[in-house]
């Protein structure tokens, strides 16, 4: 992926760390994340994206909030049912069945038990469960082949279920924590994929900030028998994350 400023112009990187603003550039063949790590003041710090959508790739070291993903277990399902019933989640997950304990057990139970290629994750912020992520290899779902040429691409859906954790910039951290995990679990994946509804402004913005590029719009059948228009987004692993 070339720099919109021109193929020969180095991509600038800025890392905010403890009141310092450290500036660098991406070296040839290096990912944005690797450049941020190299630019960072603290040796063991892991910079996370603030905004990768502009010409300058902005990262920060967050010393306050730790975001992690863990495999979902059946004991999480009451939380998941509560999150799914929150209006800000239900609006975008309406075609995923009833947001009740029975409904989410039916939809996610087999996935948790490893009986489906879709994997379920719980998002933890400072050790507190605050939301969920589901992911799948595109090639495991023949009906998704239209989404792109890479069968090893990994697709994702996500939700911060606890409304107290929305609107605080956590979304980009959730997507990034997932992306780091996904590239380890799927070493053959050259692209990561998400397709939010075109009206889901917060989700579109989160993906842009995390380094995804918007692509094709396409229609998906919805629960009401109509279609929702979603926007395909891809993240180029080598450019953004590296290995």
Binding site for ligand COA (CB under 6 A): 88-89, 92, 157-160, 166-172, 196, 200-203, 205-206, 209
Q: Give me the least distance between CB of 216 and ligand COA, in Å please.
A: 16
Task: Give 27 or 198: the residue with its C-beta nearer to ligand COA.
Answer: 198
With both helix axes pointing from N to C terminus, report the angle between 170-185 and 201-209 in degrees, rounded to the nearest 10.
60
- Of 163, 161, 199, 183, the closest CA to residue 238 belongs to 183
Show the tokens assigned to 58: 């902005």
Residue closer to ligand COA by CB (options 38, 88) is 88
Residue 88 neighbours by CB under 8 Å, 6+ apart: 163, 166
Closest CB to ligand COA among residues 20, 91: 91
State the Cα–Cα distance between residues 93 and 222, nearest whole angstrom.
Answer: 10
The single residue listed with the structure tokens 């996935």 is 111
Residue closer to ligand COA, measured from CB, 47 or 196: 196
Helix (H, G, I), strand (E, B) or coil at 122: strand
**Which residues make beta-bridge pairs with 159?**
132
Task: Report the nearest approach of ligand COA to the CB of residue 167 (Å).
Answer: 4
For the bound state, the minimum distance from the C-beta of residue 162 to ligand COA, rounded and expressed in Å, comes to 9
CB of 54 to ligand COA, least distance (A): 11
């Amino acid at each position: 992926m070339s720099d919109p400023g021109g193929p020969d112009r180095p991509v600038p990187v800025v890392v905010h760390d403890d009141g310092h603003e450290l500036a660098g550039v991406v070296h040839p063949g290096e990912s944005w994340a690797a450049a941020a790590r190299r630019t960072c003041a603290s040796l063991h710090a892991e910079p996370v994206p603030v905004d990768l959508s502009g010409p300058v790739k902005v990262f920060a070291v967050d010393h306050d909030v730790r975001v992690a993903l863990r495999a979902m277990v059946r004991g999480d399902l009451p939380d998941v049912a509560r999150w799914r019933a929150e209006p800000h989640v239900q609006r975008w997950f309406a075609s995923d069945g009833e947001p009740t304990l029975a409904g989410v057990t039916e939809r996610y139970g087999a996935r948790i038990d490893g009986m489906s290629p879709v994997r379920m994750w719980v998002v933890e912020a400072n050790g507190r469960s605050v939301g969920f992520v589901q992911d799948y290899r595109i090639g495991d779902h023949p009906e998704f082949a239209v989404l792109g040429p890479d069968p090893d691409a990994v697709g994702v859906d996500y939700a911060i279920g606890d409304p107290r954790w929305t609107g605080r910039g956590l979304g980009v951290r959730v997507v990034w924590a997932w992306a780091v995990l996904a590239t380890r679990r799927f070493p053959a994946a050259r692209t990561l994929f998400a397709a939010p509804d075109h009206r889901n402004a917060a989700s579109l913005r989160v993906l842009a900030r995390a380094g995804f590029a918007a692509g094709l719009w396409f229609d998906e059948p919805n629960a009401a028998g109509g279609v929702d228009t979603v926007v395909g987004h891809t993240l180029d692993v080598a450019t953004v994350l590296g290995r």
